[in-house]
Structure formats: structure tokens, C-alpha cells
Amino acid sequence: MSHPYQVAVIGLGAMGMGAALSCLRAGLHTHGIDLDPAARERLAVAGATSVGADANAIADRLDAVLLLVVNAAQVRRILLGEQGLARRLKPGTAIMISATIASEEAEAIASELTAQGLLVLDAPVSGGAVKAEAGAMTVMAAGPQAAFDRLQPVLEAVATHVFTIGERPGQGSTVKIIHQLLAGVHIAVAAEAMALASRAGVPLDLMYQVITQAAGNSWMFENRMPRVLSGDYNPRSAVDIFVKDLKLVAQQGQALNFPLPLASAALNQFLNASNAGHGQEDDSAVIKAYAGITLPGAKS
């Protein structure tokens, strides 16, 4: 490619900001798109080629678009809505859809974009904000080889592990949804264990030390429970994100006529926490669904 590779990262939340910074570090001409002026400013200071509230003005110079937004409605609005980006992109531009969405939505959106001459990768990601910023995410990608090829500079910048799930968009989202079953259950059961410790009078910092050095540990326990210990529920990933994701898990199970009892229990706990007013807090706030326990105070 004779000209510098240009990528727009749309959605500069915890994961998107990390991905954009990783693209910058890899030497890609990176454009940051977000409605939040503070997020745009942070990326501009880091050296972004441009920042903006939408990508329309820069669409014709892009080689790739990476979407790290919350849900399918946002993906569809950004790409295919009234002011949609898709019609402004050059034919052959690659779009990497990394939101966690239903597999049939990923397939349908990819089909519409492909009909407009664009290359699409259904490519959900995992790893959390720290791995995103280190360029060490895990990508579960499905799409045509041409999309993988066109997005290779972006994939190399943001990920340590890129799994090729298949050639049909939707397959990547299926794998991510199964992953989210475990992620959601692990957070919910970590909260349940710590809630029980609180009720039993076991110091939570001691309980955390024991579990993280023993067989009951999980990545989610080790990552999320320090937030409970410090009383810091500022959202990295919110309770309502797992309400959404575990609903996608439930829908997948229903579509296959397959029972998912543990995923259903976890969904109910996130729903309980959301219903109690904690939906926009960090997902570790699912522990607040338990009554009659004392938790460490809010971080000042």
C-alpha cells in the first residue's frame, strides 16, 4: 500500500480507547470517533490524526473502520442509518465490527455492507481495558479472507490472539456469546462468594487473598473483586452491559432449544442489581443485589 494506512476507531470507551492507542503505537494513521469530548481530547493528545463526533468528513480516505460500540442498534445506526458511514466509504474499505451482538444481527449487517462493496469482519474482542491498551486483546473473527487481509495491520496492532472462526459473519459473534456466558457467570458467582464471606464475617481482603492463591480463583474474580474491596464502582464495564450480553446468551440457548440454567441465574442477578438502580455502575456492583451484607465504603 503506497499511502499511510488510515483507520477510524469508532467508540472510545475502555476497549476502544485502548485499541486506538494501540493503533497509534503501531504507526497507523488513527482517527478517533466518539460523542464524548474528553475521550476525543485524550486521543488527540496521544497523537491521533484526527478526532471527531462522526467519521463522515474523513470517510473517503479510510482503509479500515473499527467499531467498539455497545450494541447492534449503535452499529446499525453508525453504518447504515440516515447519516450512515457506509455509503461514504470507498469500495473495498474494511469494517471490523467488534461490538458484542447477536450472531444473526452480525450476519444481517455484514450482508448489507457487503452489498455496498465493503469488506466486513465479524470480530468481537475480549481482554478488558488493560489488555486493549497493551495491544493484547483476543479477537474472535469471522469473514472472508479479503477482510482479514485488509485488516491485518489493525489486527496486528490490537491483538495478541486472532482466532479465525470461519468465513461467514455471525460465527465470531456466536463464539463471543458463549464466552460471555462464562464471563457473566464468573462475575456473578465471584460476587456471591464475597457476599457470603461478608455475611459470615470473614474479612473480604483476606477472602480475596485466599481465593486468588487457591483453586477457586478465576480471571474475573481476580480482576473484578478488588473493585469491591476498594468500593470503586466507576464503570469499566457496566452491570447493564452484562444484562445485555446474558440476554444474548439466553437468546442463543432458546434458538437452539438448549437449557442454560447457570447463565439464567447469572442474568437474574444482573437484572436484580440493575433493577435496584446499579445498572450504570461497574459490573462488580452485581454484589449489591444481595441484601443484609456490609460492603467496603465508596472510594473518595
Digit-coded pLDDT (tens) for 170-209: 999 999 999 999 999 999 999 999 999 999 999 999 999 9
Q: Which pLDDT tens digit goes with each residue over 136-179?
A: 999 999 999 999 999 999 999 999 999 999 999 999 999 999 99
User: What's the pLDDT at 178?
Assistant: 98
d(CA 64, CA 200): 53
When pLDDT is cut at 50, 70 and 90, the band that residue 2 belongs to is low
Q: How many CB atoms within 10 Å of residue 291?
A: 9
- In the numeric block, the cell 461478608 is attached to 198
Give the residue-averaged pLDDT of 274-294: 97
At residue 1, the pLDDT reads 44
206-231 per-residue burial string, b: 16 or more CB within 10 A, e: under 16: ebbeebeeeeeebebbebbbebbbee
Mean pLDDT in the chain?
96
CA-nearest of 135, 150, 136, 103 to 248 is 103
Compute the average pLDDT of residues 93-105. Answer: 97
Task: Evaluate whether 65 touches 10 at the Cβ level (below 8 Å).
Answer: yes
Question: Is 299 an annotated catalytic residue?
Answer: no
Distance CA 39, CA 34 (A): 7
Domain with CATH 1.10.1040.10 in the chain: 174-289
- Write out the residue limits of the CATH 3.40.50.720 domain(s) in the chain: 6-169
Calculate what percentage of the chain has a pLDDT beyond 70. 98
Say yes or no to pLDDT of 127 above 70: yes
| Pairing of the two strands 137-142 and 125-126 | antiparallel
What pLDDT does residue 3 have? 79
pLDDT digits (tens, 9 = 90+) for 26-59: 999 999 999 999 999 999 999 999 999 999 999 9
| Cα–Cα distance measured from residue 170 to residue 143, given in angstroms and rounded to the nearest whole number | 8
pTM: 0.94
* Gap between the Cα atoms of 140 and 171, Å rounded: 9
Helical segments of the chain, H only:
14-25, 37-45, 72-80, 103-114, 128-133, 145-150, 152-158, 171-200, 204-212, 219-230, 239-255, 261-273
pLDDT at 300 over 50: no
Q: Model confidence over 83-94: pLDDT tens digits?
A: 999 999 999 999
Please tell me the predicted confidence (pLDDT) of residue 103: 97
Contact 24, 49 (CB under 8 A): no
Which one is catalytic: 90, 176, 244, 247? 176
Fold of 174-289: N-(1-d-carboxylethyl)-l-norvaline Dehydrogenase; domain 2 (1.10.1040)
Overall fold of domain 6-169: Rossmann fold (3.40.50)
